[in-house]
Amino acid sequence: MVPMKQETFPVFSEALSVDYAKDKVQAGIWDKEDALDQARFEMVHLLSNGVMTKDHFLWDILDRKDEKIGTLWVFEEKNTYFIYDIMIFEAFQNQGYGSELLRVLEEKARQAGISEIGLHVFGHNKRAFHVYEKMGFETVDINMRKVL
């Protein structure tokens, strides 16, 4: 994990906005026509100062060869880390990088005096849900619906 540089932030922000918009549409929360604009608005609101936004930590994730394999966005509040986003690039998925990243983050959190790590996962993201459960995360809230 290395701190993200401000000059790479716009690429990160746009890629995350696109993915977030797709997830919100797939979950049936946002309309497709407005989703990308809404996602971009949320990014600007949450990360108003890019990588320098107070209490938000953005990291590039590197493998042992120093190749960038993904990104991580964490928010800190009251001795808690909240994971806003983990992105392991497609070419590196299903190789254990997500689990290893969570182990490294947990170690970093303990060293920083953090007592809890939280996150949100979309219901349709079964692979991520499986990884989080395997790594010891517990479900604390569930929203359900039935489309008629």
- Whole-model pTM: value is 0.89
Coil vs helix vs strand at 117: strand
Block residue for tokens 């497609």: 90
Which domains, ranges and CATH numbers included, belong to the chain?
Answer: 2-134 (3.40.630.30)
Q: Which two tokens stand for residue 79?
A: 């001795």
pLDDT tens for the chain, residues 1 to 148? 999 999 999 999 999 999 999 999 998 899 999 999 999 999 999 999 999 999 999 999 999 899 999 999 999 999 999 999 999 999 999 999 999 999 999 999 999 999 999 998 888 888 888 899 999 999 888 877 777 8
DSSP, residue by residue, 56-105 = EEEEEEE-TT--EEEEEEEEEETTEEEEEEEEE-GGGTTSSHHHHHHHHH
